[in-house]
Structure 1
Amino acid sequence: MSAEAGVYDLKGLNCPLPVLKARKRLSEMVPGSLLWLETTDPLAVIDIPAFCADNGHRLVETQAAGGGHRFLVERGA
């Protein structure tokens, strides 16, 4: 797995903006690409995994981080 994951700062945005912005960013990426989503929205721990499952992306890792969470997402096909 490549360590070349990008970082998308979604801190300060509330539902549904983190998912909407993540969807747009991931749609512009090549399948198999990795992207860290950084959020402060408490609902992101529910919304991001559900978004990945519904859209064929793989949630590789979740971390608690400075007032929010980080999600490593692999772009699906």
Structure 2
Amino acid sequence: MRSYYAELFTLNNQLLGEYTKRATNHQALLDALKDVNGMIQLAARLRHGQPKSAVILACRKAIKANNIHALFYIVKTGREESR
């Protein structure tokens, strides 16, 4: 019986370790997304009206496509890359 409890204790510690790792990674992801969103908002505040909305939409599109180069270009110029 004692060996079963020891095995259960070990398994529980492993599960807690994995949960802690997942929770830490999740928090790091949320912090990174907040930083990216703040950068997009700053870039959008440099513009007014329709260009402001266009920057936000283009940035969201670049993030969805996982295109970091395009994201930097949009923040820098305020428009999407022409292909």
Using structure 2 for the length normalisation, give the TM-score. 0.31
- When Rg is computed on C-alpha atoms for both structures, the one with the higher figure is 2
Q: Which structure dedicates a bigger proportion of its chain to strand?
A: 1
Q: Which structure dedicates a bigger proportion of its chain to helix?
A: 2
Using structure 1 for the length normalisation, give the TM-score. 0.33
